[in-house]
């Protein structure tokens, strides 16, 4: 999905919505490090988008 955002095929808002939904599902298992790794990439994309707007 990150590649789709970078290619302009998926909006960052749609990625955020999907990531939050997945995190809620994944939180029922022992997935802390996996969720941390994924969300660090989502945060990076968000920062990049804000930088482009300025």
pLDDT value of position 43: 80
Distance in angstroms (rounded) separating the CA atoms of residues 16 and 10: 10
Distance in angstroms (rounded) separating the CA atoms of residues 19 and 54: 25
The distance of Cα 37 from the centroid of its chain, to the nearest Å, equals: 10
pLDDT tier at 14, thresholds 50, 70, 90: very high
- Find the range with the poorest average confidence among 11-20, 25-34, 36-45: 36-45
Average pLDDT for 13-28? 89
* pLDDT at residue 10 is higher than 90: yes
Separation in Å, CA 39 to CA 15, 42, 54: 11, 5, 23
pLDDT value of position 11: 92
pLDDT value of position 9: 96
26: Cα within 13 Å, side-chain hemisphere = 15
């Amino acid at each position: 999905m990150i590649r789709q955002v970078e290619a302009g095929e998926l909006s960052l808002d749609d990625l955020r919505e999907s990531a939050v939904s997945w995190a809620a599902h994944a939180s029922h298992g022992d997935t802390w490090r996996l969720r941390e790794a994924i969300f660090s990439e989502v945060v990076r994309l968000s920062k990049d988008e804000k930088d482009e707007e300025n």
